[in-house]
């Protein structure tokens, strides 16, 4: 199949229009599909965002709600919310992959196709213009040849008439002959020039129709076929991207169903009884008091004995770690928070520096012109501004250090806080004393020397259920069946920090791994 075969000479312009419209229609379809994928991606992102907001809205919070989670029906609802949160994560993965693998790629391809099409059509137009210009030049030479040949014929006839005229003198006859000869020579030169130009034009025309235009049409054909192939791959990816996460989505839905089967109403009832059993004896029967026999003194051991309710005030102590360095956030969110904080401090520092420069200039003006003001009156403001600049520079250095740690790799304070939170949870589950909790968490408030490095140990092991390509910053790639060390458990956002055997560390979706006993 070759587009150059559809190009008769007499219909070249029509075929150009056909190819022009066809290739433009193909690019329009590609652009429509790109917009379609973009809107689908936005729908997936909005859907995932709404699901995460929904799970966050109905998640248990507070000590009372944590106490309720001991009941299977409460705990199952929390598991359903966790599974739905993981489900939302899969919708986000669909949106990210569609955006990166279809939308962004086809957008770039579309721009390349447009530029390539423009170049080929411009080449075809230029070749046609060159051929038309050559044909016009040939026509002008042809007209000149016809004109010169007519003049030569006319001069020859005039010379013959002059020669046959008996009254004509010999100089007049010679002049007429010479003129006719000159005209004939000029006509011959025009004839030769016309013949050469005609041969040149026929050669150019043959090259145009048999080589140049077919090559351009074949290039346009190749471009259009590549555009069709890219579009076909985009169609397939639209399906494959969602099919790739269906196993995990199915696991999430199975987890939701499993949470419902875990509910044990008898166990919940027994747990409620065990938690709130009073230990008091049931009250005895009220004795009959016969007032007809006289009033008897009330027996303190008989009669209605109201239950004595002992009220005890429980105070719950909770240690709240410092979150100034945003170490409680995931890596990406933490870096954004630190960058925003650095930007705010930078703006405030620039403002203070501008104010300091203005005060220095004003003091210089006062020193040169005492009548305008007292320079010493500006000293308190200058001192305060200098102190503010020093304070802001210190904060800027501090946050830049935290940011370099977050960008560069493992953050010791981040790991310390996470380990402390895990220890706090374990201690609370074991009903340990508050003092032990404080001892285990006291490292949050300690100040460490710069030379001290916190060596973090894994909190567990897991096995990768699926292959995950970590394309986002802060994530890593894993392969199915790979053994991983858990450095930080899921904090409710659907991500777990793991360490590979190669030493690479980062975040992966929690639903992609299974805990190893």
Tokens 């230990």 appear where? Answer: 279
Say how far apart CA 443 and CA 360 lie, in whole Å: 45
By the 8 A CB rule, do 314 and 433 touch? no
286 pLDDT band, cuts 50/70/90, is confident
Tokens 């074991």 appear where? Answer: 430
Residue 70 lies in a domain: yes
Strands 513-516 and 495-499: unpaired
Residue 235 lies in a domain: yes
Per-residue pLDDT of 85-133, as tens digits, reads 999 999 999 999 999 999 999 999 999 999 999 999 999 999 989 999 9
Residues 358 and 479 in one domain: no
Task: Determine the pLDDT at residue 376.
Answer: 82
* Positive/negative CA dihedral, 82, 83, 84, 88: positive
What is the domain-level CATH number for residue 381?
1.10.287
What are the CA-CA distances from residue 25 to residues 121, 221, 469 (Å)? 15, 13, 36
- Bridge partners (DSSP) listed for residue 485: 461, 499
For residue 24, pLDDT beyond 60: yes
Say how far apart CA 218 and CA 2 lie, in whole Å: 7
Answer with the one of 262, 293, 313 that is the final residue of a domain.
Answer: 262
Residues 46 and 167 in one domain: yes
Greater confidence (298 vs 249) lies with 249
Strands 483-488 and 495-499: antiparallel
Domain that holds residue 491: 460-516
Residues 467 and 388 in one domain: no
Per-residue pLDDT of 213-252, as tens digits, reads 889 999 999 999 999 999 999 999 999 999 999 999 999 9
Answer with the one of 211, 235, 262 that is the final residue of a domain.
Answer: 262
Residues 395 and 506 in one domain: no
Say how far apart CA 410 and CA 488 lie, in whole Å: 12
Task: Determine the pLDDT at residue 339.
Answer: 86
Q: State phi, psi for 60 to the nearest 5 degrees.
A: -75, 140
Say how far apart CA 437 and CA 140 lie, in whole Å: 104
Three-class HEC string of 134-193: HHHHHHHHHHHHHHHHHHHHHHHHHHHHHHHCCCCCHHHHHHHHHHHHHHHHHHHHHHHH
Based on the structure, what is the number of domains in the chain?
A: 3
Residue 322 lies in a domain: no
Dig out the tokens for 430 from the structure. 């074991």
* DSSP secondary structure string for all residues of 78-110: HHHHHHHHHHHHHHHHHHHHIIIIIIIHHHHHH
Provide the angle, in degrees to the nearest 10, between the axes of the packed helices 105-164 and 170-207.
160
Close Cβ partners of 491 (under 8 Å, ≥ 6 residues apart): 330, 418
Q: Which helix (H) or strand (E) holds 486?
A: strand 483-488
Residues 386 and 472 in one domain: no
Residue 326 lies in a domain: no
Q: What is the pTM of this model?
A: 0.48
Residue 200 lies in a domain: yes
Residue 367: CB atoms within 10 A of its CB come to 12
Task: Determine the pLDDT at residue 516.
Answer: 82
Say how far apart CA 44 and CA 39 lie, in whole Å: 9
Say how far apart CA 95 and CA 241 lie, in whole Å: 9
What is the domain-level CATH number for residue 20?
1.20.1270.60
pLDDT over 90 percentage in the chain: 35
Task: Determine the pLDDT at residue 142.
Answer: 92
Residues 250 and 114 in one domain: yes
123 burial type by CB count under 10 A (0-12 exposed, 13-18 middle, 19+ buried): middle
Say how far apart CA 38 and CA 36 lie, in whole Å: 5
Say how far apart CA 265 and CA 279 lie, in whole Å: 23
For residue 425, pLDDT beyond 50: no
By the 8 A CB rule, do 12 and 213 touch? yes
**Closest Cα partner for 148 from 204, 193, 205?**
193
Residues 467 and 371 in one domain: no
Residues 400 and 339 in one domain: yes
Q: Which helix (H) or strand (E) holds 488?
A: strand 483-488
Residues 384 and 508 in one domain: no
Per-residue pLDDT of 318-336, as tens digits, reads 333 446 777 766 666 677 7
What are the CA-CA distances from residue 251 to residues 44, 263, 290, 482 (Å)? 19, 19, 73, 19
Residue 452 lies in a domain: no
Dig out the tokens for 190 from the structure. 């025009």
Answer with the one of 262, 295, 316 that is the final residue of a domain.
Answer: 262
Residue 364 lies in a domain: yes
The mean pLDDT of 364-391, rounded to a whole number, is 83
Residues 402 and 465 in one domain: no
Residues 509 and 389 in one domain: no
By the 8 A CB rule, do 220 and 117 touch? yes
Q: State phi, psi for 465 to the nearest 5 degrees.
A: -85, -30
What SS3 state is found at 380?
helix
**Closest Cα partner for 489 from 462, 470, 468?**
462
Ranking 137-146, 260-269, 363-372, 475-484 by mean pLDDT, the lowest is 363-372
Task: Determine the pLDDT at residue 18.
Answer: 87
Say how far apart CA 401 and CA 407 lie, in whole Å: 10
Say how far apart CA 291 and CA 310 lie, in whole Å: 35
**Closest Cα partner for 12 from 132, 140, 133, 134?**
132
For residue 136, pLDDT beyond 90: yes
Strands 460-464 and 495-499: unpaired
Say how far apart CA 207 and CA 149 lie, in whole Å: 31
Residue 414 lies in a domain: no
What is the domain-level CATH number for residue 504?
2.30.30.40
Say how far apart CA 119 and CA 220 lie, in whole Å: 10
Dig out the tokens for 409 from the structure. 């790799």
Residue 402: CB atoms within 10 A of its CB come to 23
Residues 123 and 229 in one domain: yes
For residue 278, pLDDT beyond 70: no
pLDDT over 70 percentage in the chain: 78
């Amino acid at each position: 199949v070759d587009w150059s075969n559809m190009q008769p000479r007499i219909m070249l312009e029509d075929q150009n229009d056909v190819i022009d419209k066809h290739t433009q229609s193909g690019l329009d379809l590609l652009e429509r599909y790109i917009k379609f994928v973009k809107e689908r991606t936005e729908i997936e992102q909005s859907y995932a965002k709404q699901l995460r907001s929904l799970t966050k809205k109905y998640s248990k919070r507070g000590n009372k709600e944590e106490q309720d989670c001991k009941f299977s029906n409460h705990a199952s609802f929390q598991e359903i919310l966790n599974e739905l949160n993981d489900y939302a994560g899969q919708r986000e993965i669909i949106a990210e992959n569609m955006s990166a693998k279809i939308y962004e790629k086809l957008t770039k391809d579309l721009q390349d196709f447009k530029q390539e099409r423009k170049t080929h059509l411009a080449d075809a137009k230029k070749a046609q213009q060159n051929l038309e210009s050559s044909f016009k030049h040939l026509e002008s030479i042809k007209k000149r040849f016809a004109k010169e040949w007519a003049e030569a014929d006319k001069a020859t006839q005039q010379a013959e008439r002059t020669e046959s005229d008996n009254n004509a003198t010999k100089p007049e006859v010679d002049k007429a002959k010479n003129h006719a000869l000159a005209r004939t020579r000029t006509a011959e030169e025009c004839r030769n020039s016309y013949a050469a130009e005609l041969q040149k034009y026929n050669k150019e025309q043959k090259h145009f129709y048999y080589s140049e235009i077919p090559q351009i049409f074949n290039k346009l054909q190749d471009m259009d076929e590549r555009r069709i192939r890219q579009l076909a791959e985009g169609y397939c990816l639209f399906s494959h991207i969602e099919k790739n996460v269906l196993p995990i989505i199915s696991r999430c839905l199975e987890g939701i169903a499993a949470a419902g089967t875990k509910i044990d109403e008898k166990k919940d009832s027994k747990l409620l009884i065990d938690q709130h059993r009073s230990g008091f004896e049931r009250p005895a029967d009220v004795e009959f008091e016969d007032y007809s026999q006289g009033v008897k003194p009330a027996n303190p051991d008989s009669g209605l004995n109201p239950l004595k309710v002992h009220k005890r005030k429980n105070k719950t102590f909770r240690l709240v770690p410092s979150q100034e360095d945003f170490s409680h956030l995931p890596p990406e969110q933490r870096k954004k928070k630190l960058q925003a904080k650095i930007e705010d401090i930078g703006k405030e520092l620039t403002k203070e520096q501008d104010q300091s420069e203005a005060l220095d200039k004003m003091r210089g003006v006062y020193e040169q012109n005492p009548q305008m003001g007292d320079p010493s009156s500006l000293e308190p403001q200058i001192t305060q501004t200098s102190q503010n600049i020093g304070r802001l520079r210190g904060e800027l250095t501090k946050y830049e250090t935290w940011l370099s740690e977050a960008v560069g790799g493992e953050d010791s304070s981040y790991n310390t806080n996470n380990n402390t939170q895990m220890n706090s949870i374990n201690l609370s589950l074991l009903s340990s004393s508050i003092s032990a909790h404080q001892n285990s968490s006291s490292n949050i408030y300690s100040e460490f020397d710069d030379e001290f490095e916190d060596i973090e140990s894994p909190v567990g092991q897991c096995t990768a259920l699926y292959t995950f390509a970590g394309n986002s910053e802060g994530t890593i790639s894993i392969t199915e069946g790979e053994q991983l060390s858990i450095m930080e458990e899921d904090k409710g956002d659907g991500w777990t920090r793991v360490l590979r055997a190669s030493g690479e560390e980062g975040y992966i979706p929690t639903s992609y791994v299974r805990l190893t006993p």
